[in-house]
Amino acid sequence: MAFGDLLEMVGDLGKFQAIYVFLLSIPSLFMSCNNLLQNFVAAVPDHRCRVRLGGEDSRYLNVTEEPLREEFLRVFLPMDREGRPDKCRMYTSPQWHLLGTNETQGNGSQPDTQECTDGWVYDHSQFTSTIVTEWDLVCDRKSLKRMVQSIYMAGLLIGASVLGRLADKYGRQTLLLWSHFLVAVSGTCGAFSSSFPLFCFWRFLLGFGLSGVINNTISLMVEWVPTRVRTPSTMIPNFSYTSGQLLLPGFAYAFKDWRWLQLLVSVPFFVFFLYSWWLSESARWLIVNGKEHIALKQLKRVAKINGREAEGERLTVEILKASVESDQLAAKKQSVFDLFRTPIMRRISCCTMVVWFSTSFAYYGLSIDLQGFGVDIYLIQLIFGAVDIPAKIVAYLTLSLIGRKFTQITTLILAGSTVLANAIIPKDLQTVRTSLAAFGKGCLAAAFSGCYLHASELYPTVIRQTGIGLIATMARMGAMVAPIIRMSGDYISFLPSTIYGGVAVIAGLTAFFLLETRNIPLPETIEDVENRAKKNSKKVSKLRNEDVPLQEAQESLMKQRV
């Protein structure tokens, strides 16, 4: 008796599964908010050097006080090409001869300038406070802004590797519970950070914990639902994630102080931590790891909730042991090296690493620098969130009706081609560039939907979280590198888009080598994966051999006619 049969006995699609999937999906609302929070908490408002009127005069010139002040700024600050005060430079000495004129320099020579000496004045009309205004992350310190996102992604990266392995050892529900608590605490502490290094530390821990939430949510979901509803079940948290993207600009508009916004998207994880105690551990994992008594209690609990208490009472420890005796032996021998030990597992691991790295790299490359599009930041975030809805609906249809492999290949190549096309479109065609970027981001969101489902079906139960942890590590590595590549645009404007698009196309071509898993039961052991691939190979060979006599007969008939 396979686990699917055990699950069917206690109810594989009942009240328990409905509640379970719903509770697992709610945190995705705030996961997307945390992933894209950088767009708002690290927004860069208009700014200029702070200017003193005299050595002993502590009064400051502010752009918003009086129109007359604008004239005085010309004395202290050089003007840019648009006639606005320079953001990062000031004159070494006041240029009084420029007062009341439209000139920017006198006597045909350029006055000496220096870096801002007394800090900056910021425009607070759009954001009351951001980490940029809090710690002056502008001009020669502007790279620190992008470093925050890279540190956060480094937390996701290390968390995926560490927590994935721990989940295979100590259980999915245990690690999910701990991850919810870590996210809640680190996010709350981050909102009260007194220094920039401390804020970076808490963001790292937040990313570390969120990695455990993401990976264990998917594993618990696919291990408690039957094969026939696996696709729609995993799409629910995907749509929840998209809903979070739509909520984020609303949250940011209502809470324009970065500390309140950070707090708002972190506190709900205390609630998720509390109700996570109700969630059942994966019975598949319990059985495979020799904990049949606990698995039996969980299955009977599921049977009771689903109204099949009588069927649940028929289950015994002996039945559970007999159903997966070989799987238990295999589980005790597994390590991360088994992901590369056999031919098919090696192919799966290498290809999924490339696909996940590239998808995440391109996705966050487009999503974390919304101010660069020159459109209202709230509007562009809303557009980028809304475009995910039709993209994921199409992804759901193709995943269900055509297959996982087709969806991965198509969405990645489409996304890459769109981003590459955007690299050569002039910047003055803002509407076209924004539309193409939104379409490409939608394709990448659809690719992400396929990534999680496909990977969870490719890796066997005994090492599923280890495998997902490995490829999630690659995804976080891609997300961590993305902001660094974005910095290359300061020197060659089209370079970031070219790299993002090219990598996505390469990932789409790599997906050709993955196996199709649509409507196929989850593999329990590595042997199941290898045997399944061999059977598929034999079927293909048999079909090809059957085609040969038919082709020869057709050729013979043609000769006779001639």
Question: Model confidence over 288-310: pLDDT tens digits?
Answer: 777 888 888 888 888 888 888 88
Q: Please tell me the predicted confidence (pLDDT) of residue 562.
A: 40
Distance of CA 98 to the CA centre of its chain: 51
Q: Please tell me the predicted confidence (pLDDT) of residue 181.
A: 94
Cα dihedral: 542, 544, 546, 552 (round 10): -160
Q: Please tell me the predicted confidence (pLDDT) of residue 53.
A: 62
Q: Which residues pair with 345 in a beta bridge?
A: none
DSSP state of 511: G
Q: Please tell me the predicted confidence (pLDDT) of residue 61.
A: 46
CATH level 3 topology of 3-44+133-513 = Growth Hormone; Chain: A; (1.20.1250)
What are 319's two structure tokens? 């039945």
Phi, psi of 10 (to 5 degrees): -90, -5
Instruction: Compute the chain's Rg from CA coordinates.
Output: 28
Nearest CA-CA partner of 330 in 363, 358, 366, 288: 288
What are 283's two structure tokens? 């019975």
Q: Please tell me the predicted confidence (pLDDT) of residue 260.
A: 94
Coarse DSSP helix, strand, coil percentages of the chain, rounded to the nearest 5 percent: 70, 5, 25
Q: Whole-angstrom Cα distance, residue 212 to residue 203?
A: 15
Q: CB neighbours of 85 closer than 8 A, spacing ≥ 6?
A: 48, 49, 63, 73, 77, 78, 79
Q: Please tell me the predicted confidence (pLDDT) of residue 537.
A: 60
Query: Could you say which residues of the chain have pLDDT below 50?
Result: 55-68, 106-107, 326, 329, 540, 543-544, 547-548, 550-551, 553-554, 557-562
Cα dihedral: 482, 485, 489, 493 (round 10): -90
Nearest CA-CA partner of 484 in 474, 475, 495, 473: 495
Q: Which residues pair with 90 in a beta bridge?
A: 114
Q: Please tell me the predicted confidence (pLDDT) of residue 90.
A: 79
Q: Whole-angstrom Cα distance, residue 463 to residue 523?
A: 10
Phi, psi of 257 (to 5 degrees): -95, 125
The pLDDT tens digits for 399-442 are 888 888 899 899 999 988 988 888 788 777 777 878 888 888 88
Q: Please tell me the predicted confidence (pLDDT) of residue 558.
A: 45
